[in-house]
Chains A and B, each alone.
Chain A
Amino acid sequence: MAQAQMLIGILAIVFFLFTIEFIRKRHLREEYAILWLSMSLAIALLSLWPGLVALLSHLTGLFYVSAVVVIVFIFLISVLMHYSIVISRIKETNKELAQRYALLELRLKELERSREN
């Protein structure tokens, strides 16, 4: 059990560091970064603080690995839902841009035509 804890704890820290690097390089927007940082931090904490695991087991009846799985799962569901919302918004703004662009092209064409005459 202690091995799993250590491994997952280390993975969580590595993930945390990768996230920081993505932020640094501007690949990840700050608003999304917070989600990933807090998840990896939560799991790292759980893995490296033995007392917390005992408390959690006592409260929820879940073993360590199960608890990690539940945390990650809830988090992933939340992120996916959030992405669905973001994608919906992007589709809407994309449509708006496409329509405006088409109308702009028409204006340009008519302007060029009237200039030729």
Chain B
Amino acid sequence: MNKRIVVIIPAYNEEKTVGEVVRGVKALSQGFDVVVINDSSRDKTAQSAEAAGATVIELPYNLGIGGAVQTGFKYAVMNGYDGCVQVDGDGQHPPEEITKLVDPLFVNDYDIVIGSRLIGQTNYRVPFMRALGIRIISIFLRVVCGMAVKDTTSGFRALNRRAMAFFAMDYPQDYPEPESLLFAHRKKFKVMEISIEMKDREHGVSSITPFRAAYYMTKVLLAMTIDLFREF
């Protein structure tokens, strides 16, 4: 396949893992380009990424995951890529699974392909409260727009030109992963969810306590309810 794909890695203070992720992607045979969006990290994320062979975009101040990823989309559109894949800088998204996400974009003409931890057979364990929160968000999406995605907070996604071009102009900043699915439905994008293996966190503990999970979920539902009123 001679399609040009760029892997977008938004990174904030991931100096310990980002180099490995970049090398992992570069080691693949498909020749994906890698762009790391350094969201104003306080550590050596940028240097680490550059040393590993990535193009690094330095945001002048922290925009958050939504702004960082959208920068990647803008970059992808500016440089005429046929598709892009969003990969986390913390090593939880295995580069080997990327082709599984990219193929349906061109073979089946999907606009968005989501790599899911929650369907099929995986060994990945999601903490209970988080899984519950994700489930409730998923149910909400199914009820309001018939979207049958289970892993609504997964950032491991591939997008084709059509989806990329739209999100480069308009991407939810607060809760990008679930909100963008609602946007996708309103823009009539074809969305697919496939099962992939994710790795557990290597460094540090997840900062998501049960209380935080519930709070996050409430805010997401509120944001999505407001989104329902929007013009698309």
Residues on A lying within 8 angstroms of B by beta carbon are 20, 23-26, 30-31, 33-34, 37, 92-93, 96-97, 100
Contact = CB atoms under 8 A, between A and B. Distances in A.
A113 to B, nearest CB: 24
B223 A30 contact: yes
Contacts of A31: 174, 223
A24 B231 contact: yes
A25 B223 CA distance: 16
Given A23-B229, A24-B229, 11 more contacts: A20-B229, A23-B226, A24-B231, A30-B226, A31-B223, A34-B222, A92-B61, A93-B60, A93-B61, A97-B61, A100-B60
Q: How large is the interface on B (under 10, 10 to 19, 20 to 34, 35 or more residues)?
A: 10 to 19
A97 B61 CA distance: 8
A26 B226 CA distance: 11
B182 to A, nearest CB: 12
B60 A24 contact: no
A24 B222 contact: no
A93 B226 CA distance: 27
Nearest to A38: B222
Contacts of A25: 231
A24 B226 contact: no
A54 to B, nearest CB: 30
Contact of A30 (B60, B61, B227, B231): B227
A97 B60 contact: yes
A109 B174 CA distance: 38
Contacts of B223: 30-31
7 contacts: A24-B231, A30-B223, A34-B222, A34-B226, A92-B61, A96-B61, A97-B61
B230 interface: yes
Contacts of B222: 34
Given A31-B174, A34-B222, A26 B230 contact: yes
A83 B226 CA distance: 20
Given A96-B60, A97-B60, A26 B231 contact: yes
B220 to A, nearest CB: 11
Given A30-B223, A100-B60, A24 B174 contact: no
Contacts of A26: 230-231
A39 to B, nearest CB: 15
Interface in B161-181: 174
